[in-house]
Copies of this chain bind each other. A is one copy, B any other.
Amino acid sequence: MPRVQLTREDVLDAATRLVVQHGPQDLTMRKLAAELGTAVTSIYWHVGNRESLLDALVERTVQEMGALVPRGRTPVDRVVSVARALRRELRARPHLIAMVHERGLTERMFLPAQQALVHEVHAAGLRGARAAGVVRAVQFQVVGHVLVERNRERSPVQSPAEADLWSPDLAEHDPALARALARPADPERVFVVSVRALVGALLGAAAG
């Protein structure tokens, strides 16, 4: 792609490409310069330094996580639909999401979703501090689940260790449970079941 003059956007685009493919540890200023066909030091003029560059990528990611449209009839259904949409968005950009997490901005990225949650909690008849508590609980739950799930996917030794731990004692006592825990979890299912249970409990308990 020929280019008259290097811009900040050019740098961010090339950097995003490298990070999405191989993760941030593979983004060196020298590789990036080679990719852009410029001197290493030109990059510094446009983005300051490496840390600011990564910050800019993270900021972009946070911005892109736009508003989400809830679907379904009941508040519980609609909250679950927001949660599932969030999960999908996050899973499409694992490296960038990890960087957002490292910088402590995960929660800020979730602010649009928080607005949707407030709307649904209101629809369920809750107000004030009580409603805020429910919103926070759901938010922690969804964000947390996605982080754990990412973690699980990268883990190389998970299932064997789990199987090792369970096989002797438990296999005899409750073999079906041992088998179920030895199998890899279906995260989508765990996710939906948990969110539904939590939201149902918190909205139901307060409404009733």
Does B201 contact A111, Cβ atoms closer than 8 Å? no
Q: Which residue of B lies closest to A182 (CB)?
A: B132
Query: Which residues of the partner chain B approach A149 to less than 8 Å between Cβ atoms?
Result: 140
Residues of B within 8 A of A143 (CB): 144, 148, 151
Residues of B within 8 A of A108 (CB): 155, 157-158, 161-162
Partner of A201, one of B101, B127, B152, B198: B198
Contact with B along A118-132 (1 / 0, CB 8 A): 100010000111011
User: Which residues of chain B are within 8 angstroms of A128 by Cβ–Cβ distance?
Assistant: 174, 176-177, 180
Chain B residue numbers with a CB within 8 Å of A194 are 137, 140-141, 198
Is A136's CB within 8 Å of the partner chain B? Answer: yes
Q: Is the CB of B140 within 8 A of A144?
A: yes
Give the size category of A's interface with B: 35 or more
Bound-state CA distance A82–B161 (Å) is: 21
- The reply to whether the CB of A14 lies closer than 8 angstroms to some CB of chain B is no
Copies held by the complex: 2
Do A190 and B104 form a contact, CB below 8 Å, given A201-B197, A201-B198, A202-B197? Answer: no
| Residues A160-194 near B (CB distance < 8 A) | 161-162, 165, 170, 174, 176-177, 179-181, 185, 190-191, 193-194
CB atoms of B115 and A165 under 8 A apart: yes
A93 to chain B, nearest CB (A): 17
Residues of A participating in the B interface, judged by any CB pair closer than 8 Å:
101, 103-108, 111, 114-115, 118, 122, 127-129, 131-133, 135-137, 140-141, 143-149, 151-158, 161-162, 165, 170, 174, 176-177, 179-181, 185, 190-191, 193-194, 197-198, 200-202, 205
